[in-house]
Structure 1
C-alpha cells in the first residue's frame, strides 16, 4: 500500500484526527500508552532521537552508536527527514532543534 492510499483510509483519518482532539502532553502520553506497546513507544522515541542526531550533522555510524538504532532504522529516518512529507523536520523545528 502506498502512503497516499494509506492516508485516505477512514481508520487512518480517524487516528490522525484523534491527536487533534487531545489537550497537552499528558493526554497525548496516555493515548500513546494505550495505543502502543512499550517497545513501539520506545522505537518511536528512538526514531525521533535519530532524526535529531542526523539533523545535527552526525554521521550514520555516530548516530547508530549514540542511539542504538540499526543501520536500517538510521537510513529510513534519514530518508524521511529529507523526504517529501517533512514530518520529522516540522517536529524538530517546533522543538527548536531543526533548521
Structure 2
C-alpha cells in the first residue's frame, strides 16, 4: 500500500480535477503518452473483468499479456480502487 503522506500533492491534484478535459490536460503534462496508454489499457482490462468477462475473453479483447490481466484481476479481487471507480462510472 502506498504512503498517503508521500503522495499528498498528487492526490490533492487528482481530487481537484473537475472535468475529463481538465484531467487529460493534467495527465498530458504529468505523464508520457505511453504511461497514459498503459493506464487506459489496465482500465479496459479491469472493466472487462468487472463486467464478468473471463480471463481469456479479456486477454483476447485487449491483447493484454496474461501477466497484466492477472495483476489487474488480483487488484480487483483484493483491492478497492478499480471496483470503486468502475462502480461510479455510468455505462461501465
TM-score (normalised: structure 1): 0.83
The equivalent residue for 1:17 is 12
- Rounded to whole Å, the distance in 2 between the matches of 1:46 and 1:58 is 16
The higher relative CO (CA closer than 8 Å, separation ≥ 6) is in: 2
The equivalent residue for 1:87 is 81
- Rounded to whole Å, the distance in 1 between the matches of 2:80 and 2:49 is 14
Does the Cα contact within 8 Å between 1:63 and 1:74 map onto a contact in 2?
yes
Could you tell me which runs of 5 or more consecutive residues in structure 2 were left unpaired when the two chains were aligned: none
Does the Cα contact within 8 Å between 1:52 and 1:97 map onto a contact in 2?
no
The equivalent residue for 2:71 is 76
Q: Tell me if 1:47 matches 2:45.
A: no
The runs of 4+ residues in structure 1 deviating greater than 6 Å are: none
Question: How big is the shift at 1:9?
Answer: 4.2
TM-score (normalised: structure 2): 0.89
Within-5 A mapping of 1:2-41: 3=1, 6-10=2-6, 12-41=7-36
- The aligned length equals 92
